[in-house]
A = this chain, B = another copy of it.
Amino acid sequence: MSSKTEIELRREFHTYPESGWTEFRTTARIIEELESLGLKVEYGPSLHVKEKMFGLPDPDRLEACYERALKESDRPDLIEKMKGGYTGCLTRIEGALPGPLLGIRVDIDCNDVTEAADEKHRPFREGFASVHPGCMHACGHDAHTAIGIGLARKLVEMRDRLRGTVLLVFQPGEEGLRGAASMTAAGLFSDCDYFIGGHIGLKNYPFGTVGVSSTGILSSTKLDVFYQGKAAHAGASPQLGRNAMAAAATAVLNLLAIPRHSDGASRINIGTLEAGSGRNVIPDKARLTIETRGATPAINEYMEAAANRVIKAAAEMYECGYSTQYMGGANSVECDMDLADWIGEVAAPLKGVTNILRVFPFGGGEDVTTMMRDVQKHGGKVTEMAFPFPLIAPHHNNYFDIDENVIDLAIRVYTEIALRIADFQNK
C-alpha cells in the first residue's frame, strides 16, 4: 500500500493533469495503487470499443501526451498498453459474503485550462499546481480519482463485512462527454444491480450536504463541423471563390436561431470558429465546434436534427463541401428515487453529514448517464450523487480549488453504501 494519503494523491494528480484519452500517467498511478492493495486491475483496449472512442485528440497531440507520460511515469510498461488513448481502468472488489453487484464510477480527466500562477491560488502557493500548460484539474476529477482509490482501500480493509461485489470504474474523458460511451459499449456495466456516480462541488451548499439524486443533467451532443470552400483572389476574381466563412457565419446565426422547445430547456452553442487563410483570399475553409443540449433526449435530438439541417443548408448555399463529426454526447437520466431515498437514510447519520439533499440541481452535462442508462436498461437501479461545498471559483475556472475534506466525506459515504446495499436489495 502506498504511503500517500488520499489528499496527497489528489495533489499529485493535480500536479500532473491529463485531458480526455491522454490520462496515461494518471491511469498508471491508479493501477499501481490498486495493485498495491492486491486487487486485479483491468485496463487497455479491452475496456473500450474503438469506434465509440469519441472525440479522440488528433494523432499529434495524442502522441505528444503519450511521450510526456512515458517520461513522467515510473511505469512505462503500463502506459505502453494504453497507447492510442486506451486510458482508464477498473477493478472488482469482491466481498466475503454474497450480495449484489454495485458499480461506482469516478472520472479522472482534466480540463483544457492553464492554471492560475498566483499566490492567492492555493495549489500554486503550496506548490502542487499543474506542470502541464493548458491542462488543469479545474473540475475536481483529481479528487474523484483520489476518492476512488481511498474507497478501494476502505473496502479491501472491510472485505469480510462486504456482501456482494463493488465494480470500481475509473473513467477517462468525461469532459466533452467522451469516455463513457466506449466503456459502456464494451459491456462492462450490463450486469450491475446498482450503479452510482457522484460529483464534488458544482453548487454552493454548506459543507456536509450530500445530494442523493440529481436533476438537470442535460442531454447533449458534441459535433465538429468542417466546411470546404474554394480560395480565390478577393480583389481579382471574387466570383471564383466558394466562401466557407460565409457558410460558417450563416450557420452560426441560424444555429443560434433554432426555435426554443416548449417541453423544456434547450441549448445550442458554437464554441469556436476558425475560418480563412489570408486577408485577400476568399476563405476556403472553416471549422466549428458545436454542442446541443436538451432537458430530455427528445429535445436534444430535436436540436441536433435542426442543427444538422442548418449546417447542411449553409454549405449548399455557398457550394461548399462539409463534414460533421460526432465528438461526444450523453443523455439525461432519471435517477431511481427509491435507491436515492435509501441512500439518504444511510448517509444522514454519518459523521460530517449535515444535510441530505433529495434532488441536487446538477446543471451541466455528465456522461456517467450513459453507463446509468445501460444499467437501467438491464434492470438495475442508479443514482448520481453530489458532495457540494462552498465554491471559491466556478468549475472550469483557472482559480478553481476544492475543500479537500470532501474527499474523506465521500469515501465514507460510498463505503457505507457499499457495505449496506445488500439491505436495500432485500427490502
Residues of A at the B interface (CB closer than 8 Å) are: 112, 176, 218, 220, 222, 233-239, 241, 243, 245-246, 248-250, 252-254, 256-257, 259-263, 265-267, 269-283, 286, 289-291, 293, 302, 309-310, 312-314, 316-317, 319, 327, 363-365, 394, 396
Contact = CB atoms under 8 A, between A and B. Distances in A.
Contacts of A233: 364, 394, 396
B236 A363 contact: yes
A271 B281 contact: yes
A372 B90 CA distance: 60
B222 A239 contact: no
Nearest to A365: B235
Contacts of A396: 233, 278, 281
Contact of A260 (B239, B363, B394): B239
A144 B274 CA distance: 35
A254 B317 contact: yes
A283 B256 CA distance: 12
Contacts of A267: 234-235, 238, 260
Contacts of A252: 245-246, 249
A280 B365 CA distance: 10
A245 B238 CA distance: 24
B273 A259 contact: no
A82 B421 CA distance: 75
Contacts of A253: 246, 249-250, 253-254, 257
Given A239-B261, A310-B317, A317-B309, A271 B254 contact: no
Contact of A275 (B218, B273, B394): B273
A269 B273 contact: no
A252 B310 CA distance: 16
B257 A260 contact: no
A279 B319 contact: no
A289 B279 contact: yes
Contact of A271 (B283, B327, B363): B283
B364 A235 contact: yes
A124 to B, nearest CB: 21
A277 B271 contact: yes
A253 B245 CA distance: 9
A317 B32 CA distance: 53
A243 B122 CA distance: 32
B265 A262 contact: yes
Contact of A235 (B220, B272, B274, B319): B220
B309 A283 contact: no
- Give the residue among A250, A302, A314, A394 with the most B Cβ atoms within 10 A: A250
B269 A234 contact: yes
Nearest to A242: B259
5 contacts: A233-B364, A233-B394, A278-B289, A279-B290, A314-B317
Contacts of A265: 260, 262
Given A176-B279, A253-B254, A269 B313 contact: no
- Give the residue among A220, A277, A280 with the most B Cβ atoms within 10 A: A280
A273 B271 contact: no
B235 A293 contact: yes
A415 to B, nearest CB: 31
Nearest to A327: B279
A262 to B, nearest CB: 5
A4 to B, nearest CB: 32
Contact of A241 (B246, B259, B312): B259
Given A271-B279, A273-B276, A279-B290, 17 more contacts: A234-B269, A234-B293, A238-B260, A238-B267, A239-B260, A239-B263, A243-B259, A245-B273, A246-B257, A249-B273, A253-B253, A254-B317, A259-B282, A260-B265, A272-B279, A313-B314, A313-B316
